[in-house]
Amino acid sequence: MATGNQRRVLVTGADGVIGRAVRQYLGDRYDLRCLTHRPAPYPSHVGDIADLASIAPAFAGVDCVVHLAASPSVSTPWSDILPNNLIGTYNVFEAARQAGVPAVVFASSNHTIGMNEIDNAPSIYQLDDPRVFDHLAEPRPDSLYGISKLFGEAVARYYVDRYGMRAVCLRIGTVRDDDRPGDPEVYGSVPEPLEYLTDEQRRERLRATWLSRRDCAQLISRAIDADDVPWAVVYGISNNPRQFWDLEHARRTIGYEPEDSAPV
């Protein structure tokens, strides 16, 4: 139940995998407002993020936007990337600016630097491999999807520098509806250059990249509440035995402390 002193947080893509986790875990912490592409079985503003006018009313009176809406697959074709991930992301930031929203939390992706993983797979998934990539890693997108998320980070930085907004970009790992990081069946797509991975190697990868729904919600909450952080790019995974994306920057910058861990 929302109270008068709760932050008003607009969640775009509120009916997606991460959006559902946000509604489940953060519904009592914030006064959540939802933006969905289609009518939902809960209160939401229905609009297409590729159409600025259709989504603008949802931003009125909002304290922070959590931008999750996008085509989420690493194999998404350009015909969908352009409206959903590029035009849509620009429109969300512009709608926030026009409405005077001070902060945006942007769901970016590990695929912004995905070629680093591709170059080092599958050995990088092993527990004794020391390689870790942090927020200063060179941008090396592995797909059109990765390019779109790198574009979103650039848009976020522009709105921080040009308009004084606050933005935290979350390079999210693997979030699953079933929240299971190591079951026998292999789910999810991998970048085309990694399609050679065996089922066991895909499971090893999943155990390294897994972000539990609870930890994902915490990561987003920490970003929402990081009022003294004008700009940050952080990675989002759980406290897994193998971590080839850095978590220390997220700990230091926004206070993220994952509670869950994939099995060894």
Q: What residues are labeled active site? A: 145
Length of the chain: 264
> At 88, which helix (H) or strand (E)?
helix 88-99
Cβ atoms of 22 and 45 closer than 8 Å: no
Cβ atoms of 2 and 10 closer than 8 Å: no
Tokens of 226: 């990081």
* Residue from 3, 139, 10 nearest 69 by CA: 10
Residue pointed to by tokens 């849509």: 88
Can you state the angle between helices 88-99 and 144-163, rounded to 10 degrees? 20
- The C-alpha atoms of residue 69 and residue 162 are separated, in whole angstroms, by 24
* Residue from 15, 13, 10 nearest 48 by CA: 13
Peptide bond into 122 cis (omega under 30): yes
- The C-alpha atoms of residue 141 and residue 50 are separated, in whole angstroms, by 23
> What do you get for the CA distance between the two ends of the chain, in Å?
38
Instruction: List phi, psi (to 5°) of 219.
Output: -55, -45
